[in-house]
Amino acid sequence: GEDVEQSLFLSVREGDSSVINCTYTDSSSTYLYWYKQEPGAGLQLLTYIFSNMDMKQDQRLTVLLNKKDKHLSLRIADTQTGDSAIYFCAESIEGYQFYFGTGTSLTVIP
Amino acid sequence: EADIYQTPRYLVIGTGKKITLECSQTMGHDKMYWYQQDPGMELHLIHYSYGVNSTEKGDLSSESTVSRIRTEHFPLTLESARPSHTSQYLCASSESASLTYEQYFGPGTRLTVT
């Protein structure tokens, strides 16, 4: 399968911005996604970006896509304790193949 | 809000027992998936289905089996549970006709085999 890589852990102070990074290997990705998983729960779709876009903003979330470097990032502005969770990036190849990243555990320090 | 349900949420069972994990969705999605999630977070696809009577094995070899007799229902069965099957199992669904292909997840079943 595809290698979708993320760093395992990130800690930030409440009120700071968080940036979670993801690298993928398939340049034919159609859509890229960010999911959030809270303890004991399933994955919740946060946002997605079409592969021909560079940036998408949705309230406190900003997604940046660098297709040349195959790099995706999620920025959370004004991070709150409720943002503590595991974040997964994922890529879809025309809807037939779907690959998840390894997950980043975000800890927000009060 | 996605409508995808999994039961039970938690299950502790002895070695050798047969178990079925239930997954249902009310969105009419044609595609459904089962993932196994390690304690270290990573998701592994173990089964998927593109429609009724269609089932395929995923990237991670699994001793479980699945069936898809109805669009909304995608149960996973372990004929003889072993401690190595202890894990979190996540069910998901998606719609082929969706422009964005996103998967919707159930809350998961935490299985412990003693």
User: pLDDT tens digit string along B13-56?
Assistant: 999 999 999 999 999 999 999 999 987 688 899 999 999 999 99
Give the pLDDT mean for B90-105.
89
> How far does chain B reach from its first CA to its final CA, in angstroms?
35
Q: Which residue has the higher pLDDT, A2 or A105?
A: A105
pLDDT for the residue B98: 81
- CB count within 10 Å of CB A76 equals 23
Mean pLDDT across the stretch A93-107? 85
Annotate B33-60 with b (16+ C-beta within 10 A) or e (fewer).
bbbbbeeebbbbbbbbbeeeeebeebee
Please determine, for residue A32, whether its predicted confidence score (pLDDT) is greater than 80. yes
- Give CA torsion, residues A97, B49, B59, A4, to 10 deg: 30
A98/B90 Cβ within 8 A = no
User: Sign of dihedral through CA atoms A64, A61, A74, B5?
Assistant: negative
A 10 A CB-CB count for B84 gives: 9
pLDDT attached to residue B99: 78
- Flag whether residue B38 sits within 8 Å of chain A, measured between CB atoms: no
- Tell me, what's the pLDDT at B1? 55
pLDDT at position A72 over 50: yes
Which chain B residues are closer than 8 Å to A94 by Cβ? 101
Output the six-digit token pair for A55: 């940036």
Does A1 lie at the interface with B, CB-CB under 8 angstroms? yes
B83 CB neighbour count, 10 Å cutoff: 10
- Would you call B77 an interface residue with chain A, using a CB distance cutoff of 8 Å? no
Cβ of B108 and A92 within 8 Å? no
For chain A, say whether B108 makes contact (Cβ under 8 Å): yes
Residues 5-34, chain B, touching A (beta carbon < 8 A): 6, 33
Look up tokens 């039970």; give the residue.
B8
At A1 the pLDDT is: 46
Q: What is the largest CA-CA distance in chain A?
A: 41
Which pLDDT score is estimated for A3? Answer: 80
Q: Which of B41, B92, B105 sits opposite A102 (nearest CB)?
A: B41
**Whole-number Å distance between alpha carbons of A75 and A63:** 6
Q: How confident is the model at residue A95 (pLDDT cuts 50, 70, 90)?
A: low
Nearest-by-Cβ selection for A100 from B43, B96, B106? B43
